[in-house]
Structure 1
Amino acid sequence: MYVVTAVTADGERAGCLVGFASPCSVDPPLFMAWLSTANHTYRVARRASHLAVRVLRSDQKELAALFGGRTGDDTDKLARVDWRPGAGGAPVLADARAWLVGRIEERFEGGGGDHVGFLLAPVEQSPSGPDGPPLLRLGDVTGLMPGHPA
């Protein structure tokens, strides 16, 4: 599971829990993150130049609940966590095992129309670090009630 964050040129910021994301090219390196069109984060990401993508560890279910169980329509989730601006101003969350910031290259409509893929060219990434707890998987958050219907 991932948290994707974005900020617009005028400072509007948002973040959401994402289960559909993956590296998708080796040369050039590219990463795809799919955002639900129902999410506040999607509306912010449409106007952003970069997105930050942070992979969650298995011990970060509270963070998953914040970014997946609350809506940015009425909650500034980034006010509740430590973060710093990365490339393009994209919010990079603290205490991450692995993260990247990517420049948005293209957007792709999903087949069902409820998600849009953001193709990212990585411009900044986390340094290599020691092994930690296992990563948080989709099966670990299946009982989480979403802030928006998918």
Structure 2
Amino acid sequence: MAELDAFTDVLDYPVYVVTAAAGERTAGCLVGFASQCSIEPPRFMVWLSKANRTYRIARQASHLAVHTLRDDQRPTAELFGGRTGDDIDKFEHVDWHRPTTDGARAPILDDVRAWFLGRIEAQVDGGDHVGFRLSPVAEGPPGPVRPPLLLFSAVADLTPGHPA
């Protein structure tokens, strides 16, 4: 792993909250591995740890919701990154709603900088994480201002609810 540490230690990228639903079960987690992966057609990839409850539910879901957080939303990052849905219902602690897109059930967090809902097009095994390639089907309306996003450096000290 040391071969990549020198490179990744200098990166500071946004973190995301990814949510999923299968049946009546909901889940969400803090994600650091995510990126746009195609312009045309538009595609976005999120990577979920195989140890994570969100991953287990996402495997059965048709859609995932991806949310960016403002830099003042560390408590939301702590909830979704430092707690496990095996122990608590994270959605009891935030305002959220169901999407209106047919067939989509992934919870949409109300108080975030931006969000989009993506249909799961493919899953890619990457080792201890699985990538979910998403095709956007809906997005939240843009806000009037563009506040700074919560970055990895602001949450690097969080103890995860599950090991990676």
Bin for the TM-score computed over the shorter chain: over 0.9
Is 1:80 paired with 2:93?
yes
- Note the C-alpha offset of 1:132: 4.2
- Pick from 10, 17, 31 the counterpart of residue 18 of structure 1: 31
Cα distance per residue 1:33-65 (max 9 Å; x no partner): 000000000000000000000011100000000
> Residues 36-51 of structure 1 correspond to what in structure 2 (within 5 A)?
36-51=49-64
Is 1:109 paired with 2:125?
yes
Unaligned runs of at least 5 residues, structure 2: 1-14
Q: Aligned AA for 1:121?
A: S
- Note the C-alpha offset of 1:130: 1.6
Q: Aligned AA for 1:101?
A: L
Q: Which residue of 2 aligns with 1:99?
A: 115
TM-score (norm 2): 0.87
Percent of residue pairs identical: 61
Whichever of the two has the greater Rg, that structure is: 2
Distance in 2 separating the partners of 1:78 and 1:41: 13
Q: Aligned AA for 2:54?
A: T
Unaligned runs of at least 5 residues, structure 1: none
| Aligned residues of 1:59 and 1:133 also touching (Cα < 8 A) | no
Q: Which residue of 1 aligns with 2:142?
A: 128
Is 1:143 paired with 2:161?
no
